[in-house]
Chains A and B, each alone.
Chain A
Amino acid sequence: MNSRSLQTTITFLVIGGILVLAFGGAFGSASRSLTAALIDIQSWITSRFVGFQDFATAPRDIVTLRQRNAELEAQVSQLQAQLIELQQRVNETEILAALVDFSRSNPESTYKAASVIGRDPSPFLHYIIINRGSNDDIRRGMPVVTNQGLVGRVDAVIADAARVQLVTDPASSVNVYLQNADTTAVLYGSVTGDISLDLISQNVTVEAGDLILTSGLGGGYPADLIIGQVVTVRALEFELFQQTTVQPAVDFSRLEIVLVITNFRPVDIAPLEPVTPLNP
């Protein structure tokens, strides 16, 4: 080894030793400054390199990301559809559970569940169409209920569907019983879908909140089906009867599943009604 190379080796060893001591913190603040400066430089270079690397590989990644994004979006759409379907099933299950509870608590009647599939096309009439008909032993005149109360009665039947007249129909009238007032009255529908009571004697005290049930009179409906509650009472002295407005127990705008009472046969009392003889 010549003197030149020996000199170089010693110089490197000395500088290397100083650097090792500096990185080891042997020179105090001078050592920390050096380390910090080096770290800063390294950070700067690294960040620039990563930026350059991203830039250089970006086109390929965007394509991959777009594909992945499309896949995920399709998956989200599919899951959302599933969620809606499951939500509908949960709603149906809740309704059916309530209807089963109702049928268990009223074991004297037999029921057939039906889905509401349509409404009368005319705004003058309040009818619904259900997906059960004569093939399911549905007959004209059978009462239709939900777990909340009376809906109406079957008006027309074909093989696999039936039309139900709601109690809100303007042509509907139901004989009812006011539980608290212990009196009978007649419930009428209207073109707006509101229902009201009429033919209540002036001698009876009717109050808001009184429960209204079917009376069973006339043979059109079984007794004791809930219809609603009295909201307001109109009793004018110069009128023969009191009238009340009624809050129905059933939400007629959201009917989805109903129960048809299949063991009830309506009685036609028309032949028993007195006929006024013609004057000679």
Chain B
Amino acid sequence: MRNLVAFPLLALAVILQSSVVSQVRLLSGYADLLLVLLAAWSLQERVDSAWHWGAAACLMIGFVSNLPLGVIIIGYFGVLLLARVLQQRVWQAPLLAMFSVVFFGTLFFHILSFVVLSFLGTPFAFGEVMGLITLPSLLLNMLLSIPIYSSMRELSHWVYPLEGQV
């Protein structure tokens, strides 16, 4: 039942993303709070509900954003998949895994957005997108990684307490 905290938490994250984070720009890029949050959550050892969180996040962000829903679903679930794979392989260095997931996840999401939006007719220059949106967003996402990872770690301990702690 404690997993239901996903809904208020993700709703708050979407509101913050739309009203605050999207105003804090570096060049033309800004951080993706949802992406970092999902990456941090799915990297937690005890978590087995990352996919549910991903689905809820896609639903909420799809409601707010004009980005095609397919891009959002494939993008966020791709990040979750990457996080789960890395969580099983580099579990001894969680921060390294976190940085890797955020780095490659952001790149994947942006390239996917670029390809799909270009295919749908929006004129983009690849160099401009990489230089002005993707790289600044990457930097901001990496900066957000550490505090969000720590918060998600604490939250996972609360949602999934060890048997002795119950």
Contacts and interface: CB of A to CB of B under 8 A. Distances in A.
A121 B129 CA distance: 16
Nearest to B113: A124
B133 A191 contact: yes
Interface string B34-53: 10000000000000000000
Contacts of B133: 123-124, 191
Contacts of B88: none
Greatest chain B CB density within 10 A among A119, A125, A127 is at A119
Contact of B128 (A120, A155, A192): A192
Contacts of B149: none
A261 interface: no
A139 interface: no
B35 to A, nearest CB: 10
Nearest to A124: B113
Given A170-B122, A171-B121, A192-B28, A122 B65 contact: yes
Interface of B: 14-15, 17-19, 21-23, 25, 28-30, 32, 34, 61, 64-67, 110, 113-114, 117, 120-125, 128-129, 132-133, 137
A120 B30 CA distance: 11
Contacts of B22: 118-121, 123
A118 B19 CA distance: 4
Contacts of A121: 14, 17-18, 21-22, 32, 34, 61, 64-65, 67
Given A129-B18, A191-B133, A123 B124 contact: no
B66 A156 contact: yes
Nearest to B117: A124
Interface residues of A, number: 21
Interface string A100-135: 000000000000000001111111110101000000
A119 B21 CA distance: 9
A169 B25 CA distance: 16
Nearest to B134: A123
A117 B67 contact: no
Interface string A157-189: 000000101000011000000000000000010
B18 A170 contact: no
Contacts of B28: 123, 191-193
B144 to A, nearest CB: 14
Contact of A165 (B66, B67, B114, B129): B66
B18 A118 contact: yes
Nearest to B32: A121
B18 A155 contact: no
Nearest to B133: A123
A123 B18 contact: no
A122 B32 CA distance: 8
A24 B132 CA distance: 91
The 4 closest A-B pairs by CB, nearest first: A118-B18, A119-B22, A171-B122, A122-B67
Contacts of B64: 118, 120-121, 129, 163
Contacts of A165: 66
A140 to B, nearest CB: 13
Contact of B23 (A119, A124, A188): A119
Contacts of B18: 117-121, 129
Contact of B124 (A127, A170, A193): A170
A165 B66 CA distance: 9
A118 B29 CA distance: 16
Nearest to B140: A123
Interface in A200-217: none
15 contacts: A117-B19, A119-B23, A120-B22, A121-B17, A121-B65, A121-B67, A123-B30, A123-B137, A124-B67, A124-B117, A124-B124, A124-B129, A124-B133, A165-B66, A171-B120
A125 B121 contact: no
A118 B132 CA distance: 21
A170 B65 contact: no
